Structure 1
């Protein structure tokens, strides 16, 4: 029986908190501003660097925006096992409710690329959802 070598496991946990920014929103002009704070935690066995981001932002009318770019907030953070990185960014929707989802293109210490998935989360002005 052939013994298999243990493969390095990647486990990047992504948590998102959202906030409606009333002071920057103009509901009569269909402008709804949201901030989102992302916490990225490396629960894996290898260090990993966030190289690129990919977001899919959808409003209540089904209008979709795709955002791709290097890093996040001007950084390409390196996360060693057990480390976290937290940042805040924002987006503007034409409706009081929407959602975001996406992925981070990561590279591990061995030069292997992998995707850290960001599950869909809601953006909602308070009182917009029941």
Structure 2
């Protein structure tokens, strides 16, 4: 599990290689990752947008930006946790993801929360890029 705290917002990420959605012989590798966002601050926050930087084993980087996560812009109160699962395909058997969420505090002031870098590794790779 990978973890980072920014301004009282704890982000935990657990990636998992998904064998039955991958086709290694065709150069297609798929991971699911579960993100747990816990508000350890004293104020309500809302997740507004996401930014991901995804790098494969060849060093090719893709950036993904968009509103919310999995179609939601959750409001997370003090002591509450929001959890979701999403996925990431790659053309190589390993890679790395890192990013940030843009949050709004109770006054509507925007701030960024770091998502820790996490490794995408599968059984078809003898060594990873991370």
TM-score, with length taken from structure 2: 0.89
Q: Structure 2, unaligned stretches of length 5 or more? A: 1-5
Is 1:17 paired with 2:17? no
| Alignment partner, residue 107 of structure 2 | 110
| Alignment partner, residue 43 of structure 2 | 46
The count of residues paired between Structure 1 and Structure 2 equals 122
Contact persistence 2:93–2:124 (CA under 8 A): no
Is 1:97 paired with 2:109? no
Deviation at 1:29, TM superposition (A): 1.2
- TM superposition outliers: structure 1 runs of 4+ over 6 Å: none
TM-score, with length taken from structure 1: 0.89
Deviation at 1:129, TM superposition (A): 4.8
- Counterpart CA distance in 1 for 2:109 and 2:95 is 33
- Counterpart CA distance in 2 for 1:126 and 1:110 is 46
| 2:66 partner SS | strand
Deviation at 1:54, TM superposition (A): 0.3
Contact persistence 1:10–1:46 (CA under 8 A): no
Is 1:125 paired with 2:125? no
**How big is the alpha-carbon RMSD for the aligned residues of Structure 1 and Structure 2?**
1.4
